[in-house]
């Protein structure tokens, strides 16, 4: 996936939204899905007894018995599914706050289930839409029926969940809605020492509020802990193997799970792959280049149709976009609702439609309006990416969860000289947006908890074949990352879509859908290096 951040932000390793200097990306709810991994053996599936409406699911004692002794009480908990959200069922799952101290505090994860419609249910399919910070609960509720095929929904209980730190699951909490508005509207000149010092000071104050309002869980929202939660979820759903569909950041969560629980992997699809071996700086550079490539693809197509707001060649059109952004940088514009739109808010709105090329006409309309002096459509896009509702409330905490998880998962340099050198490189990687990908280190320098992970290739030694999916025009997770992840996953299979936008499954491509469905439902792993 994919919101404008409460502080300057940098890398966007996923999701539905943008990046940047003051722009951040969060989860990617309705932007694509994945392909999974295959075992023809029926042992891939557990009993699949997810529980009937309003009833308690009886735990499988053999699953709990296979768990570490200190965690068996979590694996043996009895879920009580209750009707919710119309035709769905909801439950809470208890997990340790800190897996190194399982006898200590606990937190609850929110799960939502779309029950299988067929009579030959294969088990559960757990889904993560990206982020970090994306709500799987919301994704399955709002987009599951449209993005996950009928064939898959007939054969699986599709289960969305909010990972720890996200929305309904011990959420990272930092600012009030009014404070979020004020933070998004603030402008920093990070090229000056004074501007950088101001950004550091504001970030430090926000981090302190996050620690105060969130509590101890803020130290434990890292991806390794979330992957351990995923195995508890598998266990309480009575699945002997994990069947999983992860998009964008969800591929990182999935590959982390595979490295920790190789024998528990069932059918796993990782769509819009993130390369776990890359540093924060390498991820940022890769995204900057990919977005610049996507901008050129967009203007090329725009110029071939009618109603395009640009003139001349693709080079001319890219320059016209750069001029629009520069104009807003020099003089922020007032939208029709009276709010001032600065360049980072404008850029966050601009980036959002690139996650799905069916939204390119919306981008053209917003840019045409901006060229006539009305930035209101671009502000609406920015607000959507930031989870801001028209009434001024914020419906999710994806911005804060994004920062909290990344600060634990990645070491980030906050040295001013290093960040400014990176900015210059990013400007070369993306002349249009590179400036807005820089200074990610300002978010984490004064975070209350230091990072606990060093980027490295994932090690997976399981026997199940995982399916990795890449899209050639993906701006958020460049297609090269899919190839890199596939090489780290042993006997995995790489499936590539020649298309534009972020992720592939659920994007109306029959070749991708048939390959993924055949794998998830029929156990037919697509041939490695299949191109659609």
Q: What is the pLDDT of residues 460-469, one digit of tens each?
A: 999 999 999 9
Q: How many separate domains does the chain show?
A: 1
List of residues 6+ apart from 88 with CB closer than 8 A:
112, 113, 114, 140, 141
Number of neighbouring beta carbons within 10 Å of residue 520:
31
Question: What pLDDT score does 83 carry?
Answer: 97
H/E stretch holding 302 reads helix 280-304
pLDDT for residue 57:
60
Range scoring the smallest mean pLDDT among 47-51, 79-83, 218-222, 346-350: 47-51
Residue 402 has pLDDT above 50, yes or no: yes
| 32-36, 54-58, 74-78, 268-272: the lowest-pLDDT one | 32-36
Domain ranges, residue 143:
30-52+113-170+223-277+455-531
| Residue 367 pLDDT exceeds 50 | yes
Q: How far is the C-alpha of 168 from the C-alpha of 176, rounded, in Å?
A: 17
Residue 57 is inside which H or E element, if any? Answer: strand 56-57
Q: Which is more confident, 34 or 428?
A: 428
Q: What is the pLDDT of residue 41?
A: 23
DSSP state of 483: H
248, 255, 382, 430: which one is catalytic? 248
Identify the band that residue 60 occupies on the pLDDT scale cut at 50, 70 and 90. Answer: confident
Q: Summarize pLDDT for 330-344 with one digit per residue, the tens.
A: 999 999 999 999 999
Distance between CA 168 and CA 135 in Å, rounded? 9
Does residue 102 belong to any structural domain of this protein?
no
Residue 514 lies in a domain: yes
Q: Is residue 353 part of a domain?
A: no
Tell me, yes or no, whether 159 lies in a domain: yes
Going by C-alpha positions, the residue among 245, 295, 241, 302 that lies closest to residue 269 is 245
Active-site residue, 502 included: yes
User: In angstroms, rounded to a whole number, what is the distance separating the alpha carbons of residues 10 and 435?
Assistant: 10
Which CATH number covers residue 515? 3.40.50.1820
Does a structural domain hold residue 509? yes
Q: Which pLDDT score, from 0 to 100, does residue 51 have? A: 37
What's residue 508's pLDDT? 84
Is 191 among the residues known to form the active site? no
Residue 55: predicted pLDDT? 52
Q: Does residue 129 contact residue 136 with C-beta atoms inside 8 Å? A: yes
pLDDT of residue 27: 28
Q: Is the pLDDT of residue 243 over 90?
A: yes
pTM confidence score: 0.91
**What are the tokens at 527?**
């041939």
Q: For 280-307, what is the mean pLDDT?
A: 97
Helix 360-371 crosses helix 280-304 at what angle (to 10 degrees)?
A: 80
Q: How far is CA 131 from CA 19, 139, 275, 366, 448, in A?
A: 12, 12, 15, 25, 21
SS3 of residue 62 by DSSP: helix
Residue-level pLDDT at 235: 97
60, 229, 409, 474: which one is catalytic? 474
* 8 Å CB contact between 418 and 175: no
User: 370 in a domain, yes or no?
Assistant: no
- Asked whether residue 504 is assigned to any structural domain, the reply reads yes
Residue 524 lies in a domain: yes
Distance in angstroms (rounded) separating the CA atoms of residues 440 and 434: 12
Is 229 designated active site? no
CA 9, 12, 14 angle in degrees (round to 5)?
Answer: 150
pLDDT digit string, tens, across residues 432-467: 999 999 999 999 999 999 999 999 999 999 999 999
| Strand 340-341, strand 333-334: pairing | antiparallel
């Amino acid at each position: 996936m994919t919101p404008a951040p409460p502080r300057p932000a940098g890398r966007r390793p996923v999701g539905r939204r943008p990046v940047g200097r003051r722009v951040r990306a969060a989860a990617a709810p309705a932007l694509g899905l994945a392909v999974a991994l295959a075992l023809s053996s029926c042992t891939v599936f557990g009993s699949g007894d997810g529980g009937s409406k309003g009833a308690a699911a009886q735990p499988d004692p053999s699953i709990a018995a296979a768990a570490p002794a200190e965690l068996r009480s979590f694996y043996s908990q009895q879920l009580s599914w209750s009707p919710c959200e119309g035709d769905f069922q909801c439950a809470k799952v208890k997990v340790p706050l800190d897996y190194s101290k399982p006898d200590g505090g606990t937190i609850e994860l929110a799960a939502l289930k779309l029950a299988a419609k067929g009579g030959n249910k294969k088990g559960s399919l757990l889904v993560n839409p990206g982020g970090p910070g994306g709500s799987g609960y919301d994704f399955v509720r709002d987009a599951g029926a449209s993005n996950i095929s009928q064939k898959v929904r007939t054969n699986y209980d599709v289960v969305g969940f909010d990972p720890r730190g996200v929305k309904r699951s011990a959420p990272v909490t930092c600012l009030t809605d009014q404070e979020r508005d004020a933070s998004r509207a603030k402008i920093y000149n990070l090229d000056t020492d004074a501007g950088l010092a101001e950004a550091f000071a504001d970030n430090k104050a926000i981090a302190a509020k996050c620690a105060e309002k969130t509590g101890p869980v803020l130290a434990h929202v890292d991806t390794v802990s979330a992957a351990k939660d995923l195995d508890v979820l598998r266990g309480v759903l009575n699945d002997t193997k994990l069947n999983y569909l992860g998009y964008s950041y969800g591929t990182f969560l999935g590959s982390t799970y595979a490295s920790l629980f190789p024998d528990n992997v069932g059918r796993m699809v990782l769509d819009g792959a993130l390369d776990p071996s890359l540093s924060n700086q390498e991820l940022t550079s890769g995204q900057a280049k990919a977005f610049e490539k996507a901008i050129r693809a967009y203007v090329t197509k725009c110029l071939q149709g009618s109603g395009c707001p640009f003139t001349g060649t693709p080079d001319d059109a890219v320059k016209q976009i750069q001029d629009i952004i520069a104009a807003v940088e020099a003089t922020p514009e007032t939208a029709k609702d009276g709010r001032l739109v600065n360049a980072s808010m404008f850029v966050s709105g601009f980036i959002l439609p690139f996650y799905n090329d069916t939204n390119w006409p919306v981008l053209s309309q917003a840019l045409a309006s901006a060229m006539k002096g009305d930035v209101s459509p671009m502000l609406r896009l920015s607000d959507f990416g930031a989870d801001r509702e028209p009434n001024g409330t914020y419906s999710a905490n994806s911005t804060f969860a994004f920062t909290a998880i990344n600060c634990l998962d990645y070491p980030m340099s906050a040295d001013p000289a290093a960040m400014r050198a990176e900015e210059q490189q990013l400007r070369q990687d993306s002349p249009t947006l590179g400036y807005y990908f820089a200074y990610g280190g300002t978010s984490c320098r004064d975070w209350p908890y230091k990072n606990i992970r060093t980027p490295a290739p994932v090690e997976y030694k399981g026997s199940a074949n995982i399916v990795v999916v890449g899209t050639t025009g993906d701006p958020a997770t460049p297609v090269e990352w899919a190839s890199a992840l596939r090489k780290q996953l042993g006997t995995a299979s790489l499936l590539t879509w020649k298309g534009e936008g972020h992720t592939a499954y659920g994007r109306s491509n029959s070749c991708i859908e048939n390959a993924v469905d055949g794998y998830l439902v029929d156990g037919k792993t697509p041939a490695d290096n299949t191109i659609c």
